[in-house]
């Protein structure tokens, strides 16, 4: 099988109580795994199966006969990225070059947190909120995407994401998406991961 379910970068209890082990057992063990299994079935005996996950997403984006490929490959990428965007005892503020760029492009860290939360809460239905490096414009932006859509489809470089599909928060927060989003920003965001992605993206 060309694609595999990446193990969590921490114990399944590490994000409790914002994201409980019960949520993780469904979200990583079933939802995320199903996207991987579906993608593997779709690329069986297909040249796409020899490509990297990011290249698959870019190759099938916008193709009417490859919607299932896009949805499953996009969701595998997005979920891998989501688990890395979180860490136990996360939150706080970024430092160094990333902080300076947020100050310059997004009006400071406090404004970023407010606007990032608003994007996550304001995404209608299922989807994702992102901090992204826009590779053409060479600046940071906050974006939201629906369903399996992902900034890598447009060649941009994500730094952080929050999953706002109901399966990400319903067991722990019921319908209170705003409470989940705020707790993720305050307690779980992995700014070390974001800084690494920023350094790679800026080159
Ligand atoms: Mn999800």
Distance separating alpha carbons of residues 151 and 157, to the nearest angstrom = 7
- This model's pTM is above 0.75: yes
Å from CA of 115 to ligand 1 middle = 21
Distance separating alpha carbons of residues 25 and 121, to the nearest angstrom = 24
pLDDT band for position 53 (50/70/90)?
Answer: very high
Å from CA of 35 to ligand 1 middle = 10
Residues 145 and 111: beta-carbon distance below 8 Å:
no
Å from CA of 164 to ligand 1 middle = 7
Over residues 134-163, the pLDDT tens digits come to 999 999 999 999 999 999 999 999 999 999
- Evaluate if residue 15 carries a pLDDT over 90: yes
Domains of the chain: 21-85 (1.10.287.990), 96-202 (3.55.40.20)
The fraction of the chain above a pLDDT of 90, given in percent, is: 99
Distance separating alpha carbons of residues 2 and 10, to the nearest angstrom = 24
Å from CA of 84 to ligand 1 middle = 13
Å from CA of 1 to ligand 1 middle = 22
- Evaluate if residue 203 carries a pLDDT over 90: no
Å from CA of 192 to ligand 1 middle = 22
Å from CA of 168 to ligand 1 middle = 5
Coil/strand/helix, residue 141: strand
Output the pLDDT for position 72: 98
Å from CA of 134 to ligand 1 middle = 24
- Evaluate if residue 12 carries a pLDDT over 90: yes
**Average confidence score pLDDT of the chain:** 98
- Alpha helix positions (H), the chain: 21-26, 33-42, 53-60, 67-85, 96-106, 109-122, 170-173, 177-187, 191-202
Å from CA of 44 to ligand 1 middle = 24
- Evaluate if residue 201 carries a pLDDT over 90: yes
Distance separating alpha carbons of residues 132 and 141, to the nearest angstrom = 5
- Evaluate if residue 111 carries a pLDDT over 90: yes
What is the pLDDT averaged over residues 19-42? 98
Over residues 154-199, the pLDDT tens digits come to 999 999 999 999 999 999 999 999 999 999 999 999 999 999 999 9
Å from CA of 7 to ligand 1 middle = 15
Distance separating alpha carbons of residues 62 and 60, to the nearest angstrom = 6
Å from CA of 58 to ligand 1 middle = 20
Neighbouring residues of 152: CB distance < 8 A, sequence distance ≥ 6? 54, 57, 58, 77, 158
Å from CA of 167 to ligand 1 middle = 6
């Amino acid at each position: 099988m060309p694609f595999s379910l990446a193990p969590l970068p921490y114990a399944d209890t590490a994000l409790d109580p914002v994201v409980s082990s019960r949520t993780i057992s469904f979200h990583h063990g079933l939802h995320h795994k199903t996207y991987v299994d579906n993608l593997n079935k779709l690329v069986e005996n297909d040249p796409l199966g020899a490509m990297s996950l990011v290249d698959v997403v870019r190759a099938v984006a916008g193709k009417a006969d490859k919607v299932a490929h896009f949805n499953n490959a996009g969701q595998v990428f997005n979920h891998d990225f989501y688990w890395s965007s979180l860490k136990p005892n996360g939150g706080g503020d970024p430092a160094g070059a990333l902080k300076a760029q947020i100050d310059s492009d997004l009006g400071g860290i406090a404004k970023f947190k407010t606007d990032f939360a608003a994007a996550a809460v304001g995404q209608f239905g299922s989807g994702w909120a992102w901090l992204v490096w826009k590779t053409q414009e060479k600046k940071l932006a906050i974006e939201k995407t629906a369903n399996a859509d992902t900034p890598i489809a447009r060649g941009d470089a994500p730094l952080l994401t929050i999953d706002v599909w109901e399966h990400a928060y319903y067991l722990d927060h019921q319908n209170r998406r705003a409470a989940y989003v705020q707790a993720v920003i305050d307690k779980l965001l992995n700014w070390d991961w974001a800084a690494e992605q920023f350094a790679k993206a800026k080159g």
